[in-house]
Chains A and B, each alone.
Chain A
Amino acid sequence: MSNAQRLMDRNGKVHFFSEAPLEDIEATNKQALAVLDLSNGKVAVSMLMKGFHFEKSLMEEHFNENYVESDKHPKASFSGQLEGFDASALDNITDSLQFPASGKMSIHGVTNDVETVVTFKPEGGKISVRTQFWVKVDDYDIDIPKMVISNIAEEVLVTAQFSFERS
């Protein structure tokens, strides 16, 4: 398969946010890898857990060592399919376009079926792609110690944003 049939972004941004009673928790990873196969609408996204940076380094340490155990499970990934995807729609894109996506997401060594909606939008000479969904930490066996549980909401809002060069 030639490169022209695939769009790729090595600097995808994945952000998560959780409102908590004492302190909101948020972190960003700016090195997520996304590949979109234009011939069939298949999508693969992967990122490294140690690439999530928090404002407070102590929180980052807790996230890596206690919650996602990033030495044992260094990556998170999504592999799935954009439904009804038609690459030609991207050729003359002037407004935003949406496709439902479904697939498998793996975090902390646990894989679940997920669904989301992905929005494509022209931005400068590029195509910006964005999606947002909720993740329940329990679904991924992320065990939060009782000592800090009041500090952590059970769901986090994940926003992923990619930018593809038009081929």
Chain B
Amino acid sequence: MVAGLIFIATVVIAGVIYLSKSPETSTIYVPAKTLVEHYASNEKSADKQYLGKTVAVSGTVAQILGDSPYSILLEGGSGYVQCEFKTKPATEIEEGNNLTVQGLCTGYLLDVILTNSKIITDETN
């Protein structure tokens, strides 16, 4: 009886935690070009989909912008995705590398902007 109640309580709590967390913590996978095209064609609709969300953006490194903060541009067709890193990645990044960068999408200026970025897959080797 007690064990049954504990089991039910655990399932309910786990369910609540899952439901309350899933919209914020799920990562949206998107190619840099798709993300840039969406923002360039309709910023409001793109904001609805990506603003404040964690996104994993795949693309080719177009430029290393600098070291403070460490940031790079990913090629996105008509524009770029600018990724600011919390800490400089351990792997040396070069222009032309294909990467997937995960970060928080904060919106669109000249580039689509990611903050608190980190590399989740790289093809530098």
A binding-site residues for B, Cβ under 8 Å: 10-11, 30-31, 33, 46-51, 53, 64, 70-71, 74-75
- Docked-complex contact B84 and A50, CB < 8 angstroms: no
- Docked-complex contact A31 and B71, CB < 8 angstroms: yes
Is B109 interfacial (CB-CB < 8 Å)?
yes
A49 CB contacts on chain B under 8 angstroms: 106
Tell me if B's interface is mostly helix, strand, loop or mixed.
strand
Give CA–CA (A46, B47) in the complex, Å. 16
B23 CB contacts on chain A under 8 angstroms: none
Q: How many residues of B contact A (CB 8 A)?
A: 20
- Docked-complex contact A10 and B107, CB < 8 angstroms: no
- Docked-complex contact A33 and B51, CB < 8 angstroms: no
B111 CB contacts on chain A under 8 angstroms: 10
With A31-B84, A50-B52 known as contacts, the answer to whether A10 contacts B110 (CB < 8 A) is yes
Q: B52 to chain A: closest CB distance in Å? A: 6
With A11-B66, A11-B71, A31-B71 known as contacts, the answer to whether A51 contacts B52 (CB < 8 A) is no
